[in-house]
Amino acid sequence: MKVMRLKIMLIAGGIGFLALFGLLAFVAIFISNEEHSSDGGDFIGGIGGISVSADVLKHQPMVEKYAKEYGISEYVSTLLAIIEVESGGRLLDVMQSSESLGLPPNTLDTEASIQQGTKYFADLLRSAERSGVDGNTVIQAYNYGGAFIYYVARRGKAYNFELAENFARERSGGSKVTYTNPIAVKKNGGWRYRYGNMFYVDLVSQYFISPQFDDEMVQVVMNEALKYEGFPYVFGGDHPNTSFDCSGLTQWSYRKAGINLPRTAQQQYDVTEHISLSEAKPGDLVFFHSTYNSGTYVTHVGIFVGNNQMYNAGDPIGYADLTTAYWQKHLIGAGRIK
């Protein structure tokens, strides 16, 4: 079953952007997302946490306002992380979005910057969905421009650092400059190409905090499943080399915890203890009917992770909000592995 809505999942890692300057104390916050606007969900707006400075956090209400206006409320966390990278929340043009309008840098005031930056990000998401590229491509495109989406689309449709580096090299004519960001030093000896910032995905993603689960078995399952966040849905896929469909992902991930599930969603439903969603605990499976015409009652399965969220092979693989109208319409219930 395909969920045709691009989502972004970014896992924390690296060294804080503002740690370079040693100025701001960071506060860890959890941003819940009660207004998912599409069938799927995203880790960063639902289950995960985000660690940003107080100067950035004060812009959250305005970010939420314009994210709702442009239909991307599930990306509030991503937009706040972008603000942290672009300005630390301390410049008027907090999203550094003036240039996306063809204006000189720092032309826009704070509200205009957030409005334009959010609109620009929404436009990139739509372009990415049409092109079939993954979420990290959108993050990098915020820095590089929309041309990067088409660059990735012609080269496998999945972001990787090599593509970001090659794009910068081509656009800069190969000219390098010194670069003192610790992530850059760690990765590439302290230099980058003159075009944009090829480490942008790292810089944004480091502000996200991965979810942690109490149960050891569930953590093993999720640690494996999270490796494939952003991978495309592939009907019949059951291996990292091919990507996954819904039951292929659950079978592969649970196997890492020593649990052998049968191959299809219907078969997995048949071997579980059927419970209501209200009884479900992280690590239970969630089942759905009639998501496509498969000839079976059960047509889709995901991993329940708590807080009305599941992790599943949508398109791409990622988190989904079970309270949305789409999932409620097709929900059968949860299944506990016996």
Please indicate whether residue 246 is annotated as part of the active site. yes
Distance of CA 41 to the CA centre of its chain: 9
Q: Which one, of 295, 325, 297, 299, lies nearest residue 312 by Cα?
A: 299
**Model pLDDT, residue 176:** 64
Q: Domain limits of the chain?
A: 17-208, 216-337
Cβ pair 78, 139 in contact under 8 A:
yes
Instruction: List the catalytic residue out of 136, 143, 197, 312.
Output: 312
pLDDT value at residue 100 = 93
Q: Which DSSP state fits 291?
A: S
Select the CATH number that applies to the domain covering 17-208 from these four: 2.60.40.10, 2.40.30.10, 3.30.1950.10, 1.10.530.10.
Answer: 1.10.530.10
Q: What is the CATH topology of the domain spanning 216-337? A: endopeptidase fold (from Nostoc punctiforme) (3.90.1720)
**d(Cα 81, Cα 204) in Å, to the nearest integer?**
6
Rounded-to-integer distance, Cα 46 and Cα 30, Å: 9
Residue 1 token pair: 């079953």
Q: What is the pLDDT tens value at each position of the chain, 338 positions in all?
A: 333 333 333 333 332 333 322 333 333 333 333 332 222 233 333 334 578 899 999 999 999 999 999 998 878 889 999 999 999 999 999 999 999 999 999 999 999 999 999 999 999 999 999 999 988 899 999 999 999 999 999 999 888 888 998 998 898 876 665 544 444 434 444 456 667 888 898 888 888 765 566 688 898 999 899 999 889 999 999 999 999 999 999 999 999 988 999 999 999 999 999 999 999 999 999 999 999 998 899 999 999 999 889 999 998 999 999 998 999 999 999 999 98
Q: Which amino acid is at 303?
A: I
Which one is catalytic: 289, 300, 307, 308?
A: 300
Which pairs with CB-CB distance under 8 Å and at least 24 residues apart come from 279-284? Answer: 279/334, 280/304, 280/334, 280/336, 281/306, 281/336, 282/213, 282/214, 282/215, 282/218, 282/306, 283/213, 283/215, 283/217, 283/218, 283/221, 283/337, 284/334, 284/335, 284/336, 284/337
DSSP letters of 124-185?
HHHHHHHHT--HHHHHHHHHH-THHHHHHHTTTSS--HHHHHHHHHHHHTT-EEE---HHHH
CA angle (75, 81, 84) in 5-degree steps: 145
**Residue that has been written with the tokens 């959010």 in this structure:** 118
d(CA 164, CA 322): 34
Q: Has 307 been annotated as catalytic? A: no
Selecting among 143, 246, 307, 308, the annotated active-site residue is 246
pLDDT of residue 13: 31
Spatial contact of 280 and 311, defined as CB atoms under 8 Å apart = no
In this predicted structure, what is the pLDDT of residue 49? 59
Q: Quote the CA–CA distance of 76 and 243 in Å, as a whole number.
A: 28
Which stretch of DSSP H or E encloses residue 299? strand 298-306
